[in-house]
Every structure is written in C-alpha cells, then in structure tokens.
Amino acid sequence: MEVSKKNWDVIVIGTGPSGALIARELSRSGKNVLILEKGKLDYSIHIPKMLRKKEMMFVGKGRTLVRGIRTGGSSVLYYGAAFEPPHELFSKYGIQLVNEVEELKKELPIGPLRNEFIGPAARKLMECAIDLGYNWVKLDKFVYQDLPMTTSFPFAVQWNAVEFVEDAVESGATLLNGAGVNQVILNGNKAIGVKYRVDGQPEQEAYAPKIVLSAGGLGSAQILQNSGIIQAGEGFFCDPLILVHGVMKGIEGGTEIPMGTGMVESKEGFVLTDITLPKLVYQLFSIQALRSHRVFDYHKTISIMVKIKDELGGSIKNNGKIHKNFTEIDKQRMQKGYAIAKEILNHAGAKRVFRTAWTSAHPGGSVRIGELVDSNLQTAYKNLYVCDCSVIPTAWGLPPTLTLLALAKRLAKSLLNGE
C-alpha cells in the first residue's frame, strides 16, 4: 500500500497506552487512521538488545531509565499498577477526567487483587507496615483475575496497550511497524503530515489533517524539537526508584503479582509498594549494587520499591542525549522512603537488607500542559496534538498509565467532535 498517497484522517505516532487508545477510538468511529510505530511486537526482556534500541539508557552516573520501543510501548514492560489521576491537579488546567476514568474502569480489569492473589511476601509486608502504623493498603491493578495465574512473573495476565492496537487494526486502522517519525511537516502554522523512516530505508512522508504525537515522554519531545519547538524536552521528570531487598524464609520470591499493596505519601512525595522482579532484572540490579553473591537468593527475596516524585529538571535532546541531575530534595525524599522500607523489612524479620542504584521508568513532563500544549493538548501548531506522559504539567511521582488513558479518551472525544 502507498502510505504517502492515501487520504488519512489522522496519523497517530506511537502505540503506548495513549496512542493505542486514540487510534482505537478513532478507527472504531470510522476514521481512516495511520499508526506509525518505531518498534515491533516484542515481549522479550533482553538487556543488550534493550540498550541497543535505547529502551534502556543512562540519565546520570549509574542511574538507568527504561521505556518500551515496541508495539504497546512501555505498557508491555510495565507492572500493571492502576493509580487514579490527581483530579485537582488537572482541574487547574480546565481538564476534567472523572468521566473518562469511570468509563475506563467499566471496560478494563481495574481493581484490587483478590486476597488469593496477594502473595506471601506482599501479605507479610502489609501486615508489618500496618503494625508499624503506616497506611499500607491494597492497590488497584490492571490484572485479568479470571485468567489462569502463572507462577512466573505475571506479564501474561496484565492488560497492556497491544490489545488496543489490535482492536484499532481490526477496526480498519493501518499499523506500520519499524516506522520512526523524525519530524512534523508544516504548512505555515499548520501541521499537515510527518516524515518517517522504516528500518533505515529512505525517508518517507504521510499526510493527514490531524496529527497526534504519542511517542512517549522522550520521543514526543524529540520529534517536536526536530519540528521547530525547541523548548520541548527542557526539564522533565522520571520518577526515580530504588528496590530494597532482604532475604526471608518461607517466601516464594519471583512468584507474586508485583505492586498489589503499598502506601502513597503524596505530601512527602514518595510511594512504597511490594515488588517482585523478573529473575534476570533482580540479578542485574544485585550485581549493579555490588551484591553479586545475592544473585542466587532470588526465591527467598522479599522486596519493597521506593519511588519518588523528582523535581522537573535536566534535558532531553533530539540527538538522543538525556541528562538529569537529581536535587537535594529528591535525594532526601529517597532517603526517607528508604528508611521506612528498611524499618518494614526489619520488622518482618528480613535479613541482609540492601538497596539498589536508582532507576526510573516514567519519563514525562517534557511537553507540559499550560506551556507547550493547551488544555486540548494542541501545540502552537494547529492540528498537531500531543498525548502521552510528556504532557503531564508538573513533577509527578505516580504510576501514570490510568491518567494517560483518561487523557487519551478525552482527546479522542474532542477530535471526534471536531473541536
């Protein structure tokens, strides 16, 4: 098919939760949708390949950042925690997401895990945290609890955005994999198309009256820079996290659904949850933390994740360079969360507790609402919209997927209403 000659109604760039949902809603309503996705369908966790594809990179000394360049975006790698958007924050920008969240909750498997799916480590942590006076509760998850549960890391029972991509294609959307978008084509102040390259072939063009960038917190900022919006990527957050591991008898480490329970300290700016990692990831973090001897402890490890809200800062460059210096406030937050994690693990009787280096998995805030996009998520260029983690307007600190889906639902409605 000649992609460049076809009359598309909308081009969607990226198939993470936001792009996939927009493509699905628009194609279901009869729009001619072209989806350009840089990655391909891939469920593997192969660290050298992830480094090569820039799915894993360094944002500072020894501090990694992970995202998905694949169909379904980062949701293929995510841990399925579903956090309600901070509605008050979005109200300040004239954005109401309550109805969209309600609609999503009716459609997707969102809710707390049934008791039988809370594993022994998570149960122990919850019991000990409550005993110490912390508000440790069950968290909402994107998990199909009626599917047979596996005893390995449970990616297979989590909802992810590939489902929406498949729905979009079934409804008539065209998905082009391996298609990396470099730049938006402009006519005066209006976006009219995009330039993209498939697997290193010569650059091609596709045209549509509406363009939606959903290339993620890094990707959308880079495409905008290439398109003349040079402020994109000046300042971002990444919600850094550490893992605090201890060993304990009677724990079947590696067999639990992660992030089923936890505590949210919004004022303090951190979240603590139980966590189970895929074995290889646990082993790599142990080696990075100079605990090579702990790689064999996987099945007796009990762990807490400490994730903080980092301040906006650093920069994302269109030459691929991502840099961020974390502030003293960020470091103090992490230290406070770590102290609580250690206290809970010690109370649980865990031994040989250690923490990993900082990593992060939510790059965003790089194309902020109120600065580079308006409350309809439109940029300074007419007909060019951005909808993904990059538009979050402030420092964040929460798993963002439910918020991104709600923003995408809202944008899809407004595009269909011709607003």
Ligand X SMILES: Cc1cc2nc3c(=O)[nH]c(=O)nc-3n(C[C@H](O)[C@H](O)[C@H](O)COP(=O)(O)OP(=O)(O)OC[C@H]3O[C@@H](n4cnc5c(N)ncnc54)[C@H](O)[C@@H]3O)c2cc1C
Judge contact between 400 and 392, C-beta under 8 A.
Answer: yes
Please classify residue 53 by burial: count the beta carbons closer than 10 Å to its beta carbon, then call 0-12 exposed, 13-18 middle and 19+ buried. middle
* Alpha-carbon distances of 370 from 235, 274, 365, 414, rounded to whole Å: 14, 35, 11, 18
Judge contact between 393 and 74, C-beta under 8 A.
Answer: no
Q: How far apart are CA 376 and CA 397, in angstroms?
A: 23
Under rule CB under 6 A, residue 216 binds ligand X: yes
Query: Closer to ligand X at the Cβ: 247 or 273?
Result: 273
Judge contact between 141 and 113, C-beta under 8 A.
Answer: yes
Q: Which residue among 235, 246, 269, 399 contacts ligand X (CB under 6 A)?
A: 399
Q: How far apart are CA 91 and CA 261, in angstroms?
A: 28
DSSP for 157-209?
GB--THHHHHHHHHTT-EEEETEEEEEEEEETTEEEEEEEEETTPPPEEEE-S
Q: Which residue among 75, 183, 276, 356 contacts ligand X (CB under 6 A)?
A: 75
Q: How far is the CB of 36 from ligand X (least distance, A)?
A: 5
Under rule CB under 6 A, residue 355 binds ligand X: no
Q: How far is the CB of 347 from ligand X (least distance, A)?
A: 25
Q: Which residue among 69, 125, 308, 350 contacts ligand X (CB under 6 A)?
A: 69
Q: How far apart are CA 23 and CA 29, in angstroms?
A: 10
The CB-side HSE value for 319 (13 A sphere, CA atoms) comes to 2
Under rule CB under 6 A, residue 362 binds ligand X: yes
Subset of residues 261 to 300 that bind ligand X, contact rule: CB under 6 A: none
- Binding region for ligand X (CB under 6 A) out of 11-19, 98-106, 299-307, 339-347: 11-19
Assigned token pair, 92 = 């300040």
Q: How far is the CB of 90 from ligand X (least distance, A)?
A: 16
In single-letter form, the type of residue at position 77 comes to L
Q: Which residue among 81, 175, 305, 341 contacts ligand X (CB under 6 A)?
A: 81
Under rule CB under 6 A, residue 113 binds ligand X: no
Query: Closer to ligand X at the Cβ: 310 or 388?
Result: 388
Under rule CB under 6 A, residue 80 binds ligand X: yes
Q: Which residue among 8, 73, 263, 377 contacts ligand X (CB under 6 A)?
A: 73
Task: Phi first, then psi: give them for residue 52, nearest 5 degrees.
Answer: -65, -40
Q: Which residue among 11, 24, 31, 68 contacts ligand X (CB under 6 A)?
A: 68
Under rule CB under 6 A, residue 256 binds ligand X: no
Q: How far is the CB of 83 from ligand X (least distance, A)?
A: 6
In single-letter form, the type of residue at position 216 comes to G
Query: Closer to ligand X at the Cβ: 247 or 405?
Result: 405
The number of residues that bind ligand X (CB under 6 A) is: 41
Query: Closer to ligand X at the Cβ: 210 or 362?
Result: 362
- Binding region for ligand X (CB under 6 A) out of 68-76, 88-96, 145-153, 201-209: 68-76
Q: How far is the CB of 171 from ligand X (least distance, A)?
A: 19
Residue 129 DSSP label: H
Under rule CB under 6 A, residue 39 binds ligand X: yes
Residue 5 DSSP label: T
- Binding region for ligand X (CB under 6 A): 13-19, 36-39, 66-70, 73-75, 77-81, 180-181, 214-217, 219, 223, 259, 361-362, 388-389, 399-401, 404
